Structure 1
Amino acid sequence: MRFTHPDGSTVHVGYCSNVHQAEDLDGVVAQLATYAEPVRERLGVDRLGIGLWLARDVVVELVREPAQLKRLKGELAARGLETVTLNAFPYAGFHREVVKRDVYLPDWADEARLTHTLECARVLAELLPDDARRGSVSTVPLAWREPWPADRADAARRALDRLAGGLAGIEADTGRRIRVGFEPEPGCVVETTAQAVERLGGLDPDRLGVCLDACHLAVQFEDPAAALARLRAAGLPVVKLQASSAIEATDPADPAARAALRRLAEPRFLHQTRTVRAGRVLDADDLPDALDGALPTDTGPWRVHFHAPLHADPEPPLRTTSGQLAAVLAELYAGQEALCDHVEVETYTWSVLPTPPTDLPGGIAAELAWAHGRLTGLGLDGPALKDTGPAPKDTRPALKDAKNTHPDPSEERP
């Protein structure tokens, strides 16, 4: 979907295909027919954005075989879909039985990460609609935080300089500008906006910036206004917003809350969990660790890196941080100019919910309708939607928006 901001600029909104499992091109094309086109039809729009996740083998095929890249572009157009952004964070195997920390490999000290990212950018330059201003690619926030010795940090910094040069070369070859956004994530070398400023500052702002994930921001208890002001002051552009919500347990000592959290502690993905004590973030690397005693229960709420559907509550007494997402949207779009032109709804966890949906296109359409309502409420002009129908089974209406009432804590790790 395309929205027009009062400043006249276009804001592209879509959903990320990493929710679907496919490791080859035939599988990617099948996703468009099975899921993406039905989502568009549910919404009743002529054109729907889809942020593609393309596994490494798919990217290699598209780069080596122009006919296959033309095929993919044709399939998108035929189904009323368009792509202005790629999610290049997962490299491959994102739907294996166990992913956990493997999702951060290869990291930015490994030549393979640079090669993959530049090839994703080259593919995206060919997929971009003719009238799109630019494209974006999101990527790993350098690496998992440890081990990260000085030699690997130096190798990563050199790779980022080469990345900027490679993107400039793609623009010279194709006439299309592609920007890469590093996505701060709990537990990584860059897990907060303060660390983004520290470790990514001084890079080419025309081609490199931040992919801001609202779930990650909430898990780190960052205040949206302070976080975005920090990035602006450092000259780090928000290349893409991943519209996402975390899970929050207001009282993690409550037996009902702990039982509900246990049902979310599944084996595939890493669910980093955080709380705050005396203004400092305390962390557990995974939800099972937190439940087994790695986090205190008397400090206030826990927030869990579990991307929750935007439009619906989890099992009570848990709630989501949808209010924080609404605050992020307001910071980006309520002002005189739009501060980001790509919004990607990224709820990749539908398949690992305690009760997975029987109607995934309906759930994704409801999430996009939620985002549509928030953006039009901020004054953006968007396409008219038809009724997306009832929320998927076993969900309830979204929580009312609420500001983050927690102070922006120190970004130092305890």
Structure 2
Amino acid sequence: MIAYCTNVHPAHDLAGVLDQLDRHAVGVRDRLEVDVLPLGLWLPASVARGLAADPVARRAFAAELTARGLSVSTLNAFPYGDFHDTVVKHAVYRPNWVDPRRLAYTEDCATVLADLLPASASYGSISTLPLGWREPWTEWDDAHAEAALTGLTSFLRGLERPVRLAVEPEPGCVLDTVADAVGWLADRVDPAHIGVCLDTCHLAVSFADPVETVGLIRRSGLSVVKVQASAALEVPDPRASRDALAAFAEPRYLHQVRENAPEGVLAADDLPEAFDELPGEHPWRVHFHVPLHAAPGGGLRSTTDVLVTAVAALTEEVHVEVETYTWTVLPDAGDLTEGIAAELAWARANLATGVAV
């Protein structure tokens, strides 16, 4: 089945995590009429630390999930702290993979996930940031990030259940595109334990061909450990759609923009900057996760075609996680529980692949 990512829900402690699941996940499960609803669970670092340090607490948490008809085979460990601050922006990339806190957090998540995995799960997956934001980044940072991933690999080998790390390329980061991620990871990591998280919103923003991208990963010897089923905002005519697009220029999250110009892909680090810095003469794609089931209006589109094509190109079983964390900042978002259920229903109807969750 296909999971949904709970990083859309603000939570500061374990009680808050369970409260959000009661308020939304249980309702989504009921609307979809399934006995068990898979989650892509997000745990703030403090919550992950507490659970990792206490086997009794992990067993109790697993029992709470089971009692609600929820299962977990994948964690989203990209956001470290409060993902719902008034302004998040570049803070989501801290700590990066040079900072020891990132390794400690990921190890905590792996410890928790190993105890939450259903008996039928072939593996667990954890998605993580693409090393960090691109600036500042040096060869020294490269070496220390590689050492941290080597240390994580040793830790994962010691777990009783198989857990794999999925590195998630994102525009503006050290590993901006999938090609960047493949080039950096291929000779540095053990592909049995570390691979790629294919976020199809990020993929679309890069204007890379989805079929060629899946082939590139395969040829490199890496694998797609996890797919984040997501869609970007597409703007065929930026000048004509400026008013509609302005409604998406909200202050909490970073919304990187790319313009597909004949001379190459042009870049802006956020939507307000794009209005000033990009010519707007050619189509834009914006890093704004829009709901899978509902196309935006005002001359705007979503890139669900990239998602469907990428998933269809996969031949291996992968974890699929619907990750629309932007519900709370969408113009006219509507009811959150209903929206998540509608997205999952769309994904179940439109995505055909072996799903390992």
**Aligned counterparts of 2:264 and 2:16: Cα–Cα separation in 1:** 44
Corresponding residue number in structure 2 for 1:365: 341
Corresponding residue number in structure 2 for 1:269: 253
Deviation at 1:119, TM superposition (A): 1.1
Corresponding residue number in structure 2 for 1:18: 7
Deviation at 1:329, TM superposition (A): 1.6
8 Å Cα contact 1:271-1:286 kept in structure 2: yes
Corresponding residue number in structure 1 for 2:274: 290
8 Å Cα contact 1:19-1:348 kept in structure 2: yes
1:167 partner letter:
L
Corresponding residue number in structure 2 for 1:347: 324
Corresponding residue number in structure 2 for 1:85: 74
**Aligned counterparts of 2:178 and 2:221: Cα–Cα separation in 1:** 12
**Aligned counterparts of 2:122 and 2:182: Cα–Cα separation in 1:** 26
Q: Is it true that 1:159 corresponds to 2:148 in the alignment?
A: yes
Query: Which contiguous aligned blocks of 4+ residues in structure 1 show a shift greater than 6 angstroms?
Result: 379-382
User: Map of 1:181-220 to 2, 5 A cutoff?
Assistant: 181-202=166-187, 203-220=189-206
- Structure 1 gaps of 5+ residues are 3-12, 333-337, 383-414
User: Which piece of structure 1 moves more, 234-243 or 274-283?
Assistant: 274-283
Corresponding residue number in structure 2 for 1:99: 88
1:159-196 deviations in whole A, cap 9, x for unaligned?
Answer: 111111111122xxx2x000000000000000111111
8 Å Cα contact 1:241-1:340 kept in structure 2: no
1:313-367 deviations in whole A, cap 9, x for unaligned?
Answer: 11321110011111112112xxxxx32420000000000012232x211110110
Deviation at 1:152, TM superposition (A): 1.2
Which of 63, 67, 74 pairs up with 2:63?
74
Deviation at 1:278, TM superposition (A): 2.4
**Aligned counterparts of 1:366 and 1:231: Cα–Cα separation in 2:** 31
Structure 1 residues 128, 249: closer, same or farther in 2, change over 3 A?
Answer: same
TM-score for the superposition, normalised by structure 2: 0.97
**Aligned counterparts of 1:198 and 1:328: Cα–Cα separation in 2:** 20
Q: Is it true that 1:330 corresponds to 2:306 in the alignment?
A: no
Task: Please state whether the residue corresponding to 1:84 is helix, strand or coil.
Answer: strand
Deviation at 1:381, TM superposition (A): 9.9
Q: How many residues align?
A: 355
8 Å Cα contact 2:318-2:355 kept in structure 1: no
1:118-175 deviations in whole A, cap 9, x for unaligned?
Answer: 11011100000112111000001001011101111111111111111111122xxx2x
8 Å Cα contact 1:39-1:362 kept in structure 2: yes
1:276 partner letter:
N
Q: Is it true that 1:109 corresponds to 2:109 in the alignment?
A: no
Task: Please state whether the residue corresponding to 2:158 is helix, strand or coil.
Answer: helix
2:213 partner letter:
A
8 Å Cα contact 1:73-1:127 kept in structure 2: yes
8 Å Cα contact 1:240-1:340 kept in structure 2: no
User: Map of 1:32-181 to 2, 5 A cutoff?
Assistant: 32-170=21-159, 174=160, 176-181=161-166
1:64-102 deviations in whole A, cap 9, x for unaligned?
Answer: 222221221111101111000000000001000000000
**Aligned counterparts of 1:379 and 1:110: Cα–Cα separation in 2:** 36
Task: Please state whether the residue corresponding to 1:82 is helix, strand or coil.
Answer: strand
**Aligned counterparts of 1:184 and 1:307: Cα–Cα separation in 2:** 15
Structure 1 residues 192, 72: closer, same or farther in 2, change over 3 A?
Answer: same
1:219 partner letter:
V
**Aligned counterparts of 2:266 and 2:333: Cα–Cα separation in 1:** 31
Structure 1 residues 379, 272: closer, same or farther in 2, change over 3 A?
Answer: closer
